[in-house]
Structure 1
């Protein structure tokens, strides 16, 4: 027997370190080889040993691989306690992770709690109990432990053995406690025969300031989440977290026997590194914790000033208060009562401004005094001032409102919801409250909304707001109009209807603009507008018995338009009716309309020398010399007439004129002699020159 090496390869990681090959598997058709090496699954072509593709997905050493008999899928198993199913196209389609808890919790009558691995190795240190434990059970997928015994109560502990608090107290020793599967129910059995079932309700402990949200995790940790960047940082307290408060760069955490004050390392708005600044080693009882720059506040239903030791009662309600929030300027108070009604008060007058039903939480916008939102019955409600509520579907509790972002808590998850502010902006626009609408738009609206705001403000003659809005959409055309109106105002113009007419004209509302021009006695503006637009029929309505110059101007522009659209005959007729003879003659002459040209020449006064001269020019050009001669005779331009006869070789007519007007003989005899010479009549030419 002999063996021939077909191909060989060495598996290395990125650092060129050799990797152990723990398992191999052929594809059923033999075309591919699957290799478990290091933390990767390698796929080779069996014919020549080419590496087809290294597959990533495991976080620890891959120990085994296996191919399905049908050749459609293969699997890989790793020390990261996961199995990945791959397709024959080398795509991962399923990842299964083994989450079995291999921790053994032991409570003994030495009054201690210990934790071990199944191998017998202890994890961490012993926890002192101060009572004889009689029962212990893991709770909520191993996150917590419930334990009871000689202290006549069942208590909740973390998975690390930190006591969080009592679940229920009894009159005798607790000998048994069990957790209902997949639920928050705990049943207790006691020495005196008592059986009690408890439901554990975990309240949400959290705090929010603008885009930073802090909440309790695993009962003993605090997680700070940046709602914009989605970064998170976990602070381990190793004690029950009772209250959380956050403000600017400060974070306050209340534990059973102390309060910890943390601060950010830097002023960077995205910094997520906190360090302990102060410790207040004292036990406090409060319904809410608030942290300021230099103080902490233990809240009751009172308004408290940090520089005033006396609390001030703001107002008293008949019903109990579930949730409250103050507006940005501290002038308004929103309260949600036990009947799920949101009530909004003016703090100075104590007046109830309005109320809305179906609310479970409320928050004012930190950037806009008159905007609040409240949630309830599966809806998010946004209210601006006294306008009707705008609704959209949303599950959870509103806990913050900053600009166009609403922070919503659903179960244990906090999310930032981007809410367009279009609806409240249009509510303000309907009431012509342009400045307020602009403030809302600044929170976040579309370009089309900005344009609508700009147009409405322009028509409402709030030029300052319109200017700001047009700057947002970079509309230079309207900005030029506003600048023009502002300049006219500086010069003393005060007629708002005239300004509005200009606005309508820019917007294409020409008839509305014309009516306002007429109302303000500026008919000429309407005339010019319609004329520039080539809307001559409408322009005629503004002629009336006005200045004849306007009529001439209108007809002339109409003729210009006819000329531009290649209707020369109509243009010529209009020029003639407007008295623009030269323009008419140019069109008639260029098109060779001799009959129109002679009619015009005969109608012109002999004093109108320029148009008559132009008529004669075109007659000569068109070789209608008789009409040209008639025109020169009408003008009394004998010199041009003589030149015409000479140019056309009408010598008899030329000699006749010279006899009557000998001063033109040089214009006749010399050209005549040249003509004779050119026609081989040299003797006659010589006599003519002599």
Structure 2
């Protein structure tokens, strides 16, 4: 729809539209957009300007007078010849976004927008949980992962989850992790920030959000990552720091780190009975049965020591242990008798049986 300019070269109000009556200098012709009446095109002084609502216009050089404005095209009269000029509307969409007018920004984008414009609109709408606009924009650029995210966020909002938590999730999903962490804390969920940084393997950052109840969780996750990148020593140290001796010894046994298990056996406090038992079991797994037997001896667990010596066929040490600790005698000699019987050495088997 066309308007008119005053004799002073200023825009006069057009009472047939909802367009603004702001005054613009050096304007000789005006045309409102046929498809979106909040957009107006102005010409004069060698410039062509596009203005949205009450926002400042964007200008480009052009000689001639505007006579029509439709979508992203302007029709200008130049020396009795009609010319069609494509005009960018990105600035108008951006102005609406800056003022939180997502529906208007989407309407302008539908007239003329680049992929970058759609991406900007989609991200801004997603950040503000404007689901309809965000979904339409992401459909335009065919971003399936964001469409799935939108469905999830909308379901969670409908189920009563706080908007603050959802905006934090959006920030995290878009890679703005520091912003997401602050939002999680503001929403009263600092543990979400902790687990976000843990999942990202950003353990130093995660440490900032850990409380006394989460220390073990952080240490175990750090250990899992160290194990994943083939750093068994670092992983074991982290598990030990978390008090998970069983996990640490199992990890070292899986990695075949005899040296580290032997070091652990030497250094661990004798009072850590349960932990030393895990070390002994791991030593057996890596073929260090003698060291494991010595460890059981330190624990005064003579029955376990005897069972290990018998399993290894170390009969001399087993009999010596049985002599010094009679509580082991029956199990050692009975096992010896059974072994001799399997070897068809019935005389030794009889003797062992009688001794037991």
Alpha-carbon displacement from aligned partner over 1:18-47 (angstroms, at most 9, x marks no partner): xxxxxxxxxxxxxxxxxxxxxxxxxxxxxx
Q: Give the alignment partner of residue 257 of structure 2, picking from 571, 582, 591.
A: 591
**1:563 maps to 2:227:** yes
* Pairing of 1:431-510 with structure 2 (within 5 A): 431-493=99-161, 495-510=162-177
Question: 1:235 maps to which residue?
Answer: none
Shift of 1:352: 7.3
Question: 1:367 maps to which residue?
Answer: 35
Distance 1:557 1:352 in 2: 59
Question: 2:69 maps to which residue?
Answer: 401
Change (3 A) 1:529 1:453: same
- Is the Cα contact below 8 Å between 1:425 and 1:438 reproduced in 2? yes
* Pairing of 1:138-287 with structure 2 (within 5 A): none
- Is the Cα contact below 8 Å between 1:368 and 1:440 reproduced in 2? yes
Give SS of 2:54's match. Answer: coil
Distance 2:163 2:311 in 1: 67
Alpha-carbon displacement from aligned partner over 1:271-297 (angstroms, at most 9, x marks no partner): xxxxxxxxxxxxxxxxxxxxxxxxxxx
The two structures have a TM-score, normalised by structure 1, of 0.46
Distance 1:565 1:348 in 2: 66
Q: Give the alignment partner of residue 388 of structure 1, picking from 49, 53, 56.
A: 56
Give SS of 1:542's match. Answer: coil
**1:687 maps to 2:354:** no
Question: 1:211 maps to which residue?
Answer: none
- Is the Cα contact below 8 Å between 1:401 and 1:407 reproduced in 2? yes
Question: 2:286 maps to which residue?
Answer: 621
Distance 1:620 1:342 in 2: 89
- Is the Cα contact below 8 Å between 1:398 and 1:408 reproduced in 2? yes
Give SS of 1:653's match. Answer: helix
- Is the Cα contact below 8 Å between 2:289 and 2:308 reproduced in 1? no
Structure number with larger C-alpha Rg: 1
Distance 1:613 1:352 in 2: 80
Question: 2:353 maps to which residue?
Answer: none
Question: 1:345 maps to which residue?
Answer: 14
Question: 2:308 maps to which residue?
Answer: 644
Give SS of 1:391's match. Answer: strand
**What stretches of structure 2 of length at least 5 have no aligned partner?**
351-356
- Is the Cα contact below 8 Å between 1:451 and 1:469 reproduced in 2? yes
**What stretches of structure 1 of length at least 5 have no aligned partner?**
1-324, 327-333, 678-684
Q: Larger RCO: Structure 1 or Structure 2 (Cα < 8 Å, ≥ 6 residues apart)?
A: 2
RMSD (CA atoms): 2.9
Shift of 1:603: 5.0
Distance 2:80 2:65 in 1: 11
- Is the Cα contact below 8 Å between 1:359 and 1:377 reproduced in 2? yes
Give SS of 1:335's match. Answer: coil
- Is the Cα contact below 8 Å between 2:246 and 2:278 reproduced in 1? no
- Is the Cα contact below 8 Å between 2:265 and 2:279 reproduced in 1? no
**1:377 maps to 2:45:** yes
Give SS of 2:4's match. Answer: strand
Distance 2:32 2:17 in 1: 17
Shift of 1:339: 3.8
Determine which structure has the larger strand proportion and give its number: 1
Change (3 A) 1:637 1:620: farther
Query: Number of matched residues?
Result: 342
Question: 1:414 maps to which residue?
Answer: 82
Change (3 A) 1:503 1:620: closer
* Pairing of 1:2-81 with structure 2 (within 5 A): none
Change (3 A) 1:656 1:487: same
Question: 1:424 maps to which residue?
Answer: 92
Shift of 1:600: 4.1
Change (3 A) 1:689 1:367: same
Give SS of 2:264's match. Answer: helix
The two structures have a TM-score, normalised by structure 2, of 0.85
Change (3 A) 1:348 1:379: closer
Change (3 A) 1:458 1:686: closer
- Is the Cα contact below 8 Å between 2:249 and 2:282 reproduced in 1? no
Alpha-carbon displacement from aligned partner over 1:304-344 (angstroms, at most 9, x marks no partner): xxxxxxxxxxxxxxxxxxxxx45xxxxxxx22234433323
Alpha-carbon displacement from aligned partner over 1:95-117 (angstroms, at most 9, x marks no partner): xxxxxxxxxxxxxxxxxxxxxxx
- Is the Cα contact below 8 Å between 1:335 and 1:343 reproduced in 2? yes
Give SS of 1:336's match. Answer: coil
Distance 2:165 2:11 in 1: 47
Give SS of 2:184's match. Answer: helix
Alpha-carbon displacement from aligned partner over 1:26-75 (angstroms, at most 9, x marks no partner): xxxxxxxxxxxxxxxxxxxxxxxxxxxxxxxxxxxxxxxxxxxxxxxxxx
Distance 1:500 1:630 in 2: 55
